[in-house]
């Protein structure tokens, strides 16, 4: 009993203790990995939504480009370009008029 059974029991206790510690560590690591996966799934979902919005924007812009092509075929490229340039000039003039004029006066 003292020579064989007790040393074997002590070794088994040590093995069980080490396995229990390892099990607890692995369970904690599993919880951390699960939390990380959840965070990444949320990020993937958010990025997927963003990609879908960008695809919708691309579709709208492609439709507008097609419309512009139709206008250019119907009216002519020069006339469309002239209209666009006039519109840009009007927008810049309106923007300049809306900008408040600042007079910096130094009073003593």
DSSP 99: S
Burial readout 62-71 (b: 16 or more C-beta within 10 A, e: otherwise): eeeeeeeeee
Task: Record the tokens describing residue 5, joined without a space.
Answer: 């059974």
Categorize the per-residue pLDDT at 102 as very low, low, confident or very high, splitting at 50, 70 and 90: low
For the chain, the first-to-last Cα distance in angstroms comes to 106
DSSP 100: P
DSSP 101: P
Q: Nearest-CA neighbor of 10 among 1, 34, 21?
A: 1
Q: What is the pLDDT of residue 98?
A: 83
34 to each of 25, 42, 44, 57, how far by Cα in Å? 14, 12, 15, 35
Residues with Cβ within 8 Å of 68's Cβ and at least 6 positions away in sequence, in order, are 80
CB atoms within 10 A of CB 58: 10
- Write out pLDDT tens, residues 26-74: 999 999 999 999 999 999 999 999 999 999 999 999 999 999 999 999 9
Can you give the pTM of this predicted structure? 0.56
Q: What is the mean pLDDT of residues 68-86?
A: 92
Task: Supply the mean pLDDT for the chain.
Answer: 91
């Amino acid at each position: 009993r003292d020579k064989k059974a007790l040393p074997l029991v002590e070794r088994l206790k040590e093995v069980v203790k080490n396995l229990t510690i390892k099990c607890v560590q692995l369970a904690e690591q599993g919880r951390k990995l699960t939390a990380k996966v959840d965070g990444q799934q949320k990020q993937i979902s958010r990025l997927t939504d963003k990609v879908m919005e960008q695809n919708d924007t691309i579709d709208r812009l492609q439709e507008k480009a097609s419309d512009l092509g139709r206008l250019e075929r119907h009216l002519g490229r020069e006339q469309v370009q002239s209209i666009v340039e006039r519109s840009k000039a009007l927008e810049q003039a309106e923007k300049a008029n809306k900008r408040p004029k600042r007079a910096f006066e130094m009073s003593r």
